[in-house]
Structure 1
Amino acid sequence: MNLAALLDPERIAHLPEVSSKKRALEMLSDMLSKAMPTPDGEDIFDSLLARERLGSTGLGHGVAIPHGRMAGLEEAAAALITLDTPVDYDAPDGEPVDILFALIVPEESTEEHLQILAQLAKMFSDNQILSNLREASTQEALLALIQHWSETQV
């Protein structure tokens, strides 16, 4: 699974800060909706928020993977935001989050969803990739880092 294939530069942003977890989820939803005809940003936001209500998608170590499954979606898509100023995210380790990788998958894609989440968990457990993502400040650099990591996992 090549995680970089889920992204494109329009769905990647490095930001100084966001005001809240909710605002970060809104931004990720908007980024995802602009890259596909359906669903719209509000539906994506509702899906991500519904998942958060089940429990925080914060992994710890400053990383969160908000995700959801959606009817009418044809393929998985992702968006990435890195922040200079971390946001409180109710992560299990209590640490604020500065790397958010949002994922939406078709409703019926349970196995694909789990495989992608497993790859993301593996990538975000790598201290070197975390450090590199935090140092990168352009869409191209962030995408290149994820592409390189994905290629080394074959």
Structure 2
Amino acid sequence: MRHRAKEREVLRVSDLLNRDSVMLRAETGTVQETLDLLVDLQESNGIITNGTAYHRAVCEREFAGGSTAIGDGLALPHACTAGVAAPGIAALTLRYALDWGAADGQPVDVIFMIAVPPEQQSEHLLIMARLVNLLCDPILVRDLRRAVSREDFILRLSRAEAERFA
């Protein structure tokens, strides 16, 4: 138990991203298209082993359970379900913001998709909490929107995370 608690303490959301799980200035026309693209990123990266099951869980959560838009142009679609090999995150910035049903009415242009296996529910909650904590910083969000490459996006998130949780 002690080892598991230590693992949670050092979990870094920026470590759950890599250049193949990030796409900048994507051009999608709908929330559904955007979710499809995010699932494809996760699946091609080996995080999702059953794209159909994961896609279904994310869409049920998004369209039946309420929007995952958290305000300020941000959304965090997620699922903790079978068909996920390991915790992972995919991230997109959009060229054209989409109406995601946010409570603040702001269209969404930065999306982080969180995938976690069902036996790691506590990690799911930890990842969500950590991401929300980081994304409360408007300077970080602005910097993520301005990232010039996938590596730059991850580096900006990693630096902010190191500063915030040092």
TM-score range (shorter-chain normalised) is over 0.9
**Counterpart selection for 2:132 from 121, 132, 150:** 121
TM superposition outliers: structure 1 runs of 4+ over 6 Å: none
Q: Which residue type is aligned with residue 131 of structure 1?
A: R
Aligned pair partner of 1:112 in 116, 123, 126? 123
Which of residues 66, 71, 75 is equivalent to 2:82?
A: 71
Cα pair 1:29 1:42 within 8 Å, conserved: no
Contact preservation (8 Å) 1:33, 1:39: yes
Amino acid across the alignment from 1:138 = S
Structure 2, gaps ≥5 residues long: 1-10
In the alignment, which of 17, 35, 39 is matched to residue 27 of structure 2?
17
Deviates more, 1:35-44 or 1:48-57: 35-44
Matches within 5 A, 1:1-154: 1-36=11-46, 38-52=48-62, 53-152=64-163, 153-154=165-166
CA contact (8 A) 1:33 1:44 kept: no
Identity of aligned residues (%): 29
TM-score, scaled relative to structure 1: 0.94
Cα displacement (A) at 1:96 = 0.6
RMSD: 1.4
Amino acid at match of 2:134: M
**Greater Cα radius of gyration, structure 1 or 2:** 2
Aligned partner of residue 56 in structure 1, secondary structure? coil
Counterpart contact for 1:17–1:86, Cα < 8 Å: no
CA distance in 1, matches of 2:55, 2:25: 19
5+ residue gaps, structure 1, are none
